[in-house]
Structure 1
Amino acid sequence: MHEDNLRYILDIVAESDIEEERWKGVTTLQLLTRSESNRTTLVESGALEVLVGVLKDPENREKSHRYAAVSIYELISGSDTRQRQVVQYGILEPLTRFLVKVEPANELQYWSLMVVHQLTACEGLHAELVRFGLVRTLAEMSRLSFGNANMPKTCLHSLVRLIVNMEDDEDVRWYLTELLDFDIVPLIATYIRSDDLELVYWTIGLMHEYAIKDQFKEMRGLCRSMNVLLAADEMYTSRLVLRTLKFMILEDASFQLQALNAGIGLRLPKCLAFKDDEVKYWALSVAHEFVQHPQWRHQFIESGAFAQVVSIGLSIMSRKPLKTETELLPAKEYISDILVMMWGSEADLDTLLETRGLTEATCVLLQMEKMTSDLSMSRLAVVLADAAKTSGYLDMESTSTNRVH
Structure 2
Amino acid sequence: MAAKTNTPAHGLFTTGEPISAWTVSTALPVTYQVAFTPQILGPANPALAHAGAPAGRRLVVVEETVHRLYGHRIRGYFEARGLEVELCVLPAHEQVKTMDSVFLVAERMDRFGVSRRHEPVIAMGGGVLMDVVGLACSLYRRSTPFVRVPTTLIGLVDAGVGAKTGVNFGPHKNRLGTYHPAAVTLLDPAFLETLDGRHLSNGLAEVLKVALIKDKRLFELLDRTGEQLIEQRFQGPTPGGEVLVRAVHGMLQELQPNLWEHRLERSMDYGHSFSPTVEMRALPELLHGEAVCLDMALTTVLAQRRGLVEAAERDRVLDVMRKLRLPLWHPLLDEGTLADALADTVRHRDGRQRFPLPVGIGAGCFADDITAAEIAAAAAELEELACAAR
Higher helix fraction (1 or 2): 1
Taking structure 2 as the reference length, the TM-score comes to 0.31
Bigger relative CO (Cα 8 Å, ≥ 6 apart): 2
Structure of larger gyration radius = 1
Return the structure number with greater strand share: 2
* TM-score relative to the length of structure 1: 0.30
